[in-house]
Structure 1
Amino acid sequence: MPKFIVYLAQYHQDFRLAELDSLARLEGVAIAYDRAGVVEDSPLLEVEVGSAEEAARLVRRGILVRSIVEYWGSGATYDEVFAEVKQRPERWAEYAQKSFKFTVDSFGRTLSQDDKVAVIESFSFLGFQGPIRMRDPEAEFFVCEDYGESGRSQPNKRPRRIWFGRVVGRGSRDLIDVFDVKKRRYLGNTTMDAELSLVMANQALARTGSLVYDPFVGTGSFLLTCAHFGACTVGSDIDGRQIRGTAGFRRGVDGIQANLAQYRVADRVLDTVVFDVCRNPWRPGPLFDAIVTDPPYGVRAGAKRLGRKAGALPERSLRVVDGVANHLRADYYPPTVPYEMSDVIRDLLDLAAEKLVVGGRLVYWLPTVADEYEPEDVPGHPALRLVANSEQPFGAWSRRLITMEKIGPAAATAADSRLAASASPAPAHQNFRDKYFASFGRAAAE
């Protein structure tokens, strides 16, 4: 297959390949690359794709992808690059009379404008005679000098590799600005940032005709991004105040509805409802194409489920105020008890095993203690296959974006899953809230 260069964003490096693989699945594009040869500190990845058209389709909704470039040559020096390019003169002759432009970039070192001009002039042997057009040219050519890890006090003097080719497609990083939470009409203290919300939508394979559910919807970030890509979405939460807009940073707006109107996706957000996910009203059997969520793990808000503390009396909910029973009032909030993180995750996997269609995906955040984490800590389920595990570190703790795919009918009951979990050592996310405030919170204060 023809070779291409994927020009990746140098952000969230641990998420980039997982998103790229999901994009290939979404677009039905066969892609091949050497995982063992991936250079983690480089934004450039050599891949094989069937055609330039397929390559453009592969990256068109990528968030961690800047562009994809048809490979023409590479090497440690420009002489090596030129020698490879000259092996295929019929390819560059096609663009001899077309409008064009060159983009010269570098990684790990800053090139001056004079340096960039010299690089462009060194490719004069291509014989392009068409007009130079900086906006909307018929062909754009890309040169990148990779000097290695950026941020060094003494950058490498020579590039470790130089890449050259023709740009055939771009990602959708502009959506990060479109969905920037600073521009959002309604948000809360747990609102997920735009870049990662969009990446999660790609990981979930959100697309036209799919049905996506967020069981801890909060202020609805995932409803927005998944709906943007065409999915129909629905969300639920035990706390209706987040949904209605009485618990956000910006009050006086119509809660999640304000954001739906802002992004013009109200027709694809089917509903937002209030209930305890442990006692959900969904009909039995498969229903959703994806479940995308950020379970509350206690750093900003602790998870809750319906219940009463030991010894608590029920009389408060039975009170009558102004002739209306307390539990029937619009602002009534039922009694809840803490919902331990490991219990949340086990219940979430059981929910996904039952409610996802075969091939559907569960995408969720898992908090872990850095020093205690082991790969075996990621909970499993007989009906789910682990697709990706990407880490976002915060020093003493991390959160991991876990992507799982349903591979068949639920093969274990909730009781069986809990029995298997109870036989394993305590995972690094167990009692995460207590660990965070006992250790990490104290360290941050100091």
Structure 2
Amino acid sequence: MPLFLVYFAHFHQEFRLPELDSLSILENVPITYDASSYSPESPFFLIEVESAAQAAKLVRRGILIRFIIEYWGSGKTYDELFTLLKQTPDRWSDFMACSFKFTVDGFGRSLSQKEKVSVIESFSFMGFQGPIKMKNPDAEFFVCEEYGEPDNPLPAETPKMIWFGRLLGQGSRDLIDKFDVKKRKYLGNTTMDAELSLVMANQALARDSALVYDPFVGTGSFLLTCSHFGAYSMGSDIDGRQIRGTAGFRLGVNGISANLAQYGLADRVLDTVVFDICRNPWRDGPMFDAIVTDPPYGVRAGAKRLGRKSGVDPERSLRVVDGVENHRRSDYLPPTEPYEMSDVISDLLSFAAEKLVVGGRLVYWLPTVAGEYDPKDLPVHPVLRVVANSEQPFGGWSRRLVTMEKIASLEGRATAELPEHAPAHKNFRDRYFSKFEALSLNS
């Protein structure tokens, strides 16, 4: 199959290939590539796709992809590149008379306009005769000089690689600006940033007619991004104040509904409801195509479940206040107790194994202590297969975006299988606020 060059955005490098694989499934475009050739230091990656039309289709909703280019050649010098290009002059014949333009870019070094013009003129041997058209040309040729990491204060004087080809399409990075949390009418201190929220929607295979659920919906970021891609979504939370927008001074007064109206997605979000996911009211059996969530792990808001802390009067909710039993008042909040992170993840996997359809995906964030994480920390389940596990570091800790796929129907009441050792996310909240000092992980 022909080769195509993916030009990734230079962000979230561990997330790029998992998203690319998800796009292949979403767009029904088979791809092949050599994973060992991928480098997080480079935004360029060669893949095989059946045709140029399929390649353009592949990336159209990509968030971590800038462009896809029909690969014509590469070299460490222009002489090396030109020697390679001159071996396939038949490739140029279809573009001799059409309108065209050249785009010249630099990765790791900014090129002056004079340098760009010089590069364009050096391709004159190709002999294109059509008119130059800067907007909507019939063909756009792409040249990029790769110098290395863009934050290097002393970039190399010569490129480490020069890439050339025909530009075919681009991703949807404009959506990052559209869903920028700074532009939303309603947000909270746990609202997920737009870029990663959109990546998660792709990882979840959110698409037309899919049903996506967030069991820790908070301020509803994933409802927006998944529904933007055509899915029907719904969410729940133990704290209805987050949903309604009455949970604190940083939140708005119209809740999630304000954002749905802002983005015109009210007809795609079926509902948001209030209950404890540990005591959920859903019917038995599979119903969701994807579960996408960011469980509260205690950095900004701790996880809670229904219950009473030790020492709390169990009769408190039954007291009569102003002639009304306390638990029947409209402003009554049921008692809750802390929900330990490892228990949250274990219960989440068991829930997903039952409620996902076969082929459905669970996409969730897992916090972990840097330096202590082991792949065996992840609880597993007989009917869930790990598809991707990507890290976002924050210094002393990191969070991992874990994607799992349901591969078989659930037999009986099989639950998540926990690691024999204490995982690096055990007691995460306590360890975070103690600056990751050694604590008893078995408490």
- Can you list the C-alpha shifts for 1:214-250, whole angstroms capped at 9, x where unaligned? 0000000000000000000010000000000102555
Alignment of 1:393-404 (within 5 A): 393-404=393-404
Distance 1:248 1:256, change over 3 A: farther
Matched, 1:435 2:397: no
- Can you list the C-alpha shifts for 1:279-319, whole angstroms capped at 9, x where unaligned? 00111011100000000000000000000112322333223
Distance 1:310 1:6, change over 3 A: same
Question: 1:73 deviation in Å?
Answer: 1.1
Q: Return the letter of the residue paired with 1:282.
A: W
Q: Which residue of 2 aligns with 1:226?
A: 226
Q: Return the letter of the residue paired with 1:87.
A: Q
Give the secondary structure class of the aligned counterpart of 1:439.
Answer: coil
Q: Which residue of 2 aligns with 1:4?
A: 4
Question: 1:112 deviation in Å?
Answer: 1.4
Question: 1:327 deviation in Å?
Answer: 2.0
Q: Which residue of 1 aligns with 2:390?
A: 390
Q: Return the letter of the residue paired with 2:279.
A: R
Q: Which residue of 1 aligns with 2:286?
A: 286
Give the secondary structure class of the aligned counterpart of 1:349.
Answer: helix
CA distance in 2, matches of 1:88, 1:138: 20
CA distance in 2, matches of 1:121, 1:10: 29
Q: Return the letter of the residue paired with 1:204.
A: A
Q: Return the letter of the residue paired with 2:403.
A: T
Checking the alignment, whether the CA contact within 8 Å between 1:240 and 1:274 is kept in structure 2 is yes
Give the secondary structure class of the aligned counterpart of 1:94.
Answer: helix
Q: Structure 1-normalised TM-score?
A: 0.95
Aligned residues: 438
- Can you list the C-alpha shifts for 1:17-62, whole angstroms capped at 9, x where unaligned? 0100000011111111111111220001011100011101100000
Most deviating of 74-83 and 283-292? 74-83
Q: Which residue of 2 aligns with 1:97?
A: 97
Question: 1:338 deviation in Å?
Answer: 0.2
Alignment of 1:163-312 (within 5 A): 163-247=163-247, 250-312=250-312
- Can you list the C-alpha shifts for 1:318-369, whole angstroms capped at 9, x where unaligned? 2344444332333221100000000000000000000000110000000000
Q: Return the letter of the residue paired with 1:8.
A: F
CA distance in 2, matches of 1:180, 1:441: 35
Q: Which residue of 2 aligns with 1:413?
A: 413
Q: Which residue of 2 aligns with 1:111?
A: 111
Alignment of 1:18-167 (within 5 A): 18-167=18-167
Checking the alignment, whether the CA contact within 8 Å between 1:304 and 1:336 is kept in structure 2 is yes
Query: What is the CA RMSD across the aligned residues, in angstroms?
Result: 1.6
CA distance in 1, matches of 2:347, 2:301: 18
Checking the alignment, whether the CA contact within 8 Å between 1:382 and 1:411 is kept in structure 2 is no
Alignment of 1:335-414 (within 5 A): 335-411=335-411, 413=413
Q: Return the letter of the residue paired with 2:434.
A: A
Q: Which residue of 2 aligns with 1:425?
A: 421
CA distance in 1, matches of 2:134, 2:253: 43
Question: 1:147 deviation in Å?
Answer: 1.5
Question: 1:253 deviation in Å?
Answer: 3.2
Give the secondary structure class of the aligned counterpart of 2:434.
Answer: helix
Give the secondary structure class of the aligned counterpart of 2:205.
Answer: coil
Checking the alignment, whether the CA contact within 8 Å between 2:369 and 2:436 is kept in structure 1 is no
Unaligned 5+ segments in structure 1 are: none
CA distance in 2, matches of 1:222, 1:251: 17
CA distance in 1, matches of 2:420, 2:248: 39
Most deviating of 121-130 and 47-56? 121-130
CA distance in 1, matches of 2:249, 2:142: 44
Unaligned 5+ segments in structure 2 are: 439-443
CA distance in 2, matches of 1:411, 1:156: 59
* Percentage of matched positions with identical amino acids: 72
Q: Structure 2-normalised TM-score?
A: 0.96
Question: 1:411 deviation in Å?
Answer: 4.7
The ranges of structure 1 where at least 4 consecutive aligned residues each deviate by more than 6 angstroms after the TM superposition are none
CA distance in 2, matches of 1:249, 1:171: 37
Give the secondary structure class of the aligned counterpart of 1:70.
Answer: strand
Question: 1:412 deviation in Å?
Answer: 6.7
CA distance in 1, matches of 2:332, 2:16: 44
Checking the alignment, whether the CA contact within 8 Å between 2:186 and 2:252 is kept in structure 1 is no
Q: Which residue of 2 aligns with 1:317?
A: 317
Checking the alignment, whether the CA contact within 8 Å between 2:187 and 2:252 is kept in structure 1 is no
Give the secondary structure class of the aligned counterpart of 1:205.
Answer: coil
Checking the alignment, whether the CA contact within 8 Å between 1:187 and 1:249 is kept in structure 2 is no
Checking the alignment, whether the CA contact within 8 Å between 1:6 and 1:65 is kept in structure 2 is yes
Give the secondary structure class of the aligned counterpart of 2:266.
Answer: coil
Question: 1:148 deviation in Å?
Answer: 2.1
CA distance in 1, matches of 2:313, 2:295: 29
CA distance in 2, matches of 1:14, 1:4: 20
CA distance in 2, matches of 1:313, 1:248: 27
Q: Which residue of 1 aligns with 2:441?
A: none
Q: Return the letter of the residue paired with 1:388.
A: A
